[in-house]
Structure 1
C-alpha cells in the first residue's frame, strides 16, 4: 500500500496519481463501449435497420464481456494491471474503427460483438486500486474509480451527437465521431503503460497459484462455484438463440447448433479446469487462515447482476426510449438520457464512501431496496409525464443503482487479495449476464414490463444479501518466498 495517508483528490502523486490514471482509462473504455447508443437513430436510418436489428446490436454489445471479464481478470492477476489495461485499450480500438466504417448490418454486428471485450477493462482497475489504497479508503477509492469511469457512457451520450452533427457534419459525421473514441483509446494505452506501476515501491504483487481457474478453499465451495458458472453459459446460449432464425436470423440453424455444442464443450472444459486447479482439496483441508467463503462471491454476483446489469441495459436503450416517448431529436434525447449515467460521478463514490463508514452489508441492503423501488417508479413513465419529472425519476433510480455498484466493489477486494482480479472478473461478468438477460427481455416486452422485471430481480438480490457475511479481521496471503503476510481488511 502507498504509505501516504492523505486522501486528496486534487493530488496527482502516489496513490492518487494511480487512481486518476486508472479512472481515465476506465472512462475511455466506456466512452468507446457506448459510443453507439446516442447515435442509434442515425445509424438505424443510414442502414435501414429494423427495430429487431437495433435491439440485437444492443445485446451483442454486452455479450462478449461475459467471458472477457473472466479472462481479463485472470490475465490481470497474472501479468499485472499496467500491461493488461494498456493492451486492452490498444487492441479494442480495432473493432471500434470497424464499427465506425462498417458498410453492412453484418459488419456492425460483428464489430459490436468484438467491442464487448473493452467492457472488461473495469476489473483491471479494481485490482490496481486495491494494490495502492488501505482498507479504510478502499471503498471510496474503488467508488471514485468506478463512478468517474462509468461516466464515460454519459459523456458519450452527451457529446457524440454534437460532435457528429456540429463538428463533422454530413451523412458520415456519426462515423468520424465514433472513430474519434478509438483514437482516444490508442493514445491512452501508451500513456497508461508509460506512467503507472502495479504496486507501490517495495510492495508485493500477489499472484494466484494457477491461471486456469479460480481457487476455492473447500469442496462444497468448489461445487458452488461450478453451479455459479451456469448462468453465464445460459446467457450466451440465450444470445445464440436471439441471433438464430428464431430471433433475427443473423446466423443459421446449423451455426446455432454448433454454437450450443461449443458452449456445452466449453462448460465441460471450464468445470474440468476448476477441478484441476482445486484438486488439492481432495487430498487435504486448507488451513483456516487461508480460507474464504465462496458464498461472499456468489452474493456479490447476484447483486451486480441487478445493479450493473440493469445500468448497461438501461444506458443502451434510454436515449431511444426518451426520443420515442417524448418525441425528442437525437441530440436532445442523448443529452436527456445522459442524466441517468451522469449520476455516476457522485453515486458510485458515495456507495463506496458510505460502505467504508457504515458497514458493507447494511449499506448494500438499503441501496438494493432503493434500486427495486426506483425501477418500479420508472415502469410507470409515459408521454403524459412532464419531461423534467421523468428525468428526475431516472436520476433518482440511478443513484441507488450506481451506489449499489460502488458498495459491491467495496467488498470485492476484501475477500482474497491475490484473487481480486478473478473475483472482480466473475462479479463483473454477472453484470453482463444481467445486461444480456435484461436486453433480451426488452426485445420481447414493452418498456414498462422491462423496468418491472429489473425491479423484481433487485428484490431477489435483497434476499440473497441476507446470507452475506460482513468482511472482518484479516486475510492471509503467501509471499513468493513462502512467508505469510496478514493483510488488514477492516478496522
Structure 2
C-alpha cells in the first residue's frame, strides 16, 4: 500500500490541474452560445447564419480528436495540452473581434479543435492512477471538465455586464482566450507526463493506429468511414442552406475522399511490416474492443449533445412553458454530468467494467423509450424526474466507456481515446440531423432502439483488465493489485 502511494504520489494534484485544463477548454469551446442572440443583432446575421455558426463549432473536433490522440501518444499530454490551450486563444481572439459572418465562421471552425482537449487528459489521468481507481478518476475528469459548457452559459453574460457597453460580449469572449494563455504556462510548469517511477510508453510508429491482425486493419479502415461521412453531412447541410455553393460542396467532398484515401495508405504503411512478421501474443489487443466502445460513446455522448439542444423547445412546446423555465429544465440534463459521469466510473471500478456498461446501456435504452411517451397529459414533475434519470444513465454510460478506454492498450491510449471521442462527435452530428426529420417522440424512440442494439453488442466485449494484464506495470503496483488492498484517490 505504501509503495503504491509512493508511485502515484501527487496524483490528486495532476487530476485537479488536468480537469481544470479540460474545464477551461470547454468554456472556450462554448463561449458563443450565451451570446448567440447578441451577436446576431450586433452583426445583423440571419437565423440561418447563426445556426451554421453553432453547428460548425463541432466540425473539426472529429478529425482533431484523432490527430490530437496521435500527438498525445507521441509527445505526452503535458506538452500537447499546453500547446492546444495556446492555439485555442488565437481563434478565440479572432472571434471576439470579428465583424463579418465569414470571419466568425472561420474562427468558430478553428475553435472546434479545442474540443479535442478531452482526449489529452484521458491519457494523463491513466498514467497517474492505478487501474482499480481509474474509472472514478476518469469520471471526475470528464464530468467536471464538461461542466465548463454550463459555466460559460452562466458566467460569461455576467462578465459582459461588468465590462458594459455594446462590446461587453467581445471582452468576455476575449478574456477566455487570455485565460487559456495564462493557464497553458501554469499547466506546463505544474505537471509531468508520468510519475517518476513509470515509463511513458509511445507507439512504435505514428500516422495511424497500430493494430495486431489483418482483420483488425480492415476493421479500422471501415471504422474510419463515419468520421469523414459526418464532415460530408455537415457540408451537405451547409450547401442546402445556400451558404456555400454546390461547387464548393463538391470540392469539399473530393477533399474528404482524398484525405480518407491518404488515411488508408497510412494505416497500411504503419501496420504492414509488423503484421507480415507476426505480432507476439503479449503485444496483441483486440480491435473489437475499440469498435464496441466507439459505438457505445456514439450512443451516449452523441445523444446527450442532441438532447440538450432540443430539450428547451420540447418542454416549451409540450407543456406550454416559458422560455426561462424550459431552459432551466434542459440545463439539468447537463448538470447531471457532475455526479453521473464519476458515478459511472466508480461503478465500473467496483462491480466490473463490462457488466456496468451493459447495465447502463440497458437502462439508457429503457429511459429513452419512456421519454418517447412523454406528452402534455403528463405531470411536469414526472417528466422532469424522468429526464434527469435518463441523463444520469446516459452520462454514467459515458463514464463507464472511458473507464475502459485506457485499459485497451496503454501506449495507444491517446489514439484509442481520440477515436472513441470522435465517434461521440459523429453521434452528435447524426442525431442533430435526424432531429430535424422526426418529431420528439420518434426521436427518443430511435435513440432507444440504437441504445438497445449497443447493449446487445457489448456482450461481445472482453473485460479490459484482462487485456491490460499483458502490459508491463511497475512492480509495486503489481504487488498491491495482487494483495487486493485499495488506496483512496
Whether contact under 8 Å (1:310, 1:435) holds in the other structure is: yes
Residues 1:200 and 2:234 are matched in the alignment:
no
Residue aligning to 2:487: none
Cα distance change on mapping 1:353 and 1:282 into 2, 3 Å: closer
Gap runs ≥5 in structure 1: 480-484
- Once structures 1 and 2 are overlaid, which stretch shifts more, 96-105 or 76-85? 96-105
Check 1:321–1:179 CA distance in 2 against 1; reply closer, same or farther (3 A cut): farther
Match of residue 53, structure 1, among 49, 55, 76: 49
Residue 153 (structure 2) pairs with residue 160 (structure 1):
no
Structure 2 distance, partners of 1:167, 1:316, is 28
Do 1:476 and 1:487's aligned partners in 2 also have CA atoms closer than 8 Å? no
Would you say 1:439 and 2:435 are equivalent positions? Answer: no
Match of 1:190 in 2: 185
- Call closer, same or farther: CA 1:119–1:343 in 2, change over 3 Å: same
Match of 1:117 in 2: 113
Q: Which moved more, 1:151-160 or 1:198-207?
A: 151-160
| In the alignment, structure 1 residue 178 sits paired with structure 2 residue 173 | yes
Q: Secondary structure at the match of 2:106?
A: helix
Aligned 8 A contact 1:135 1:488 in 2? no
Change (3 A) 1:120 1:398: same
Residues 372 and 90 (structure 1 numbering): CA distance in 2 closer, same or farther, change over 3 Å? same
2:269 alignment partner, SS class: helix
TM-score, length basis structure 2: 0.89
CA–CA separation in structure 1 for the residues paired with 2:72 and 2:31? 25
Once the two structures are TM-superposed, the CA of residue 267 in structure 1 deviates from its matched residue by 0.7
Could you report, residue by residue, the CA deviation over 1:59-84 in whole angstroms, capped at 9, with x for unpaired residues? 21112111000000000000100010
CA separation of 1:138/1:158 partners in 2, compared to 1, >3 Å: closer, same or farther?
same
Change (3 A) 1:314 1:52: farther
Give the gaps of 5 or more residues in structure 2.
Answer: 485-489
1:341 to 334, 339, 347: 334
Q: Which residue of 2 aligns with 1:30?
A: 26
Aligned residue in 2 for 1:401:
394
- Note the alpha carbon deviations across 1:11-63, whole angstroms, 9 max, x for none: xx601100010111111111111222343343444445444434333321112
User: Is the CA contact (8 Å cut-off) linking 1:85 and 1:121 kept in structure 2?
Assistant: yes
Aligned partner of residue 466 in structure 1, secondary structure: helix
2:225 to 226, 230, 235: 230
2:312 touches 2:323 (CA, 8 Å); kept in 1?
Answer: no
Could you tell me whether the CA contact under 8 Å between 2:212 and 2:285 is conserved in 1?
Answer: yes
Within a 5 Å distance, the mapping from 1:31-430 to structure 2 comes to 31-164=27-160, 166-244=161-239, 247-318=240-311, 328=322, 335-380=328-373, 389-430=382-423
Q: State the 1:178 CA deviation.
A: 2.7
Residue 333 of structure 2 contacts residue 391 of structure 2 at CA under 8 Å; is this kept in 1?
Answer: yes
Q: Distance in 2 between matches of 1:386 and 1:179?
A: 43
How many positions carry a matched residue from both structures? 478
Higher mean alpha-carbon deviation, 100-109 vs 84-93, is at: 100-109
The farther-off stretch of 187-196 and 467-476 is 467-476
1:17 maps to which residue?
Answer: 13
RMSD: 2.9
Within 1, Cα distance between the matches of 2:323 and 2:235?
33
TM-score, scaled to structure 1: 0.89
Distance 1:172 1:411 in 2: 45
Distance 1:101 1:273 in 2: 39
* Mapped partners of 2:164, 2:299: distance in 1: 38
How many angstroms apart in 1 are the aligned matches of 2:27 and 2:376? 29
Deviation string, structure 1 residues 134-186 (Cα, Å, up to 9, x no partner): 0101111111111111111222233334444x434444333333333222222
* Cα separation, 2, equivalents of 1:195 and 1:469: 37
Equivalent-residue separation in structure 2 for 1:90 and 1:202 (angstroms)? 30
CA distance 1:321–1:153, change in 2 (3 Å): farther
Larger helix share, 1 or 2: 2
1:229-274 CA-partner distances (Å, limit 9, x unpaired): 1111111111111111xx2122211111111111111111101100
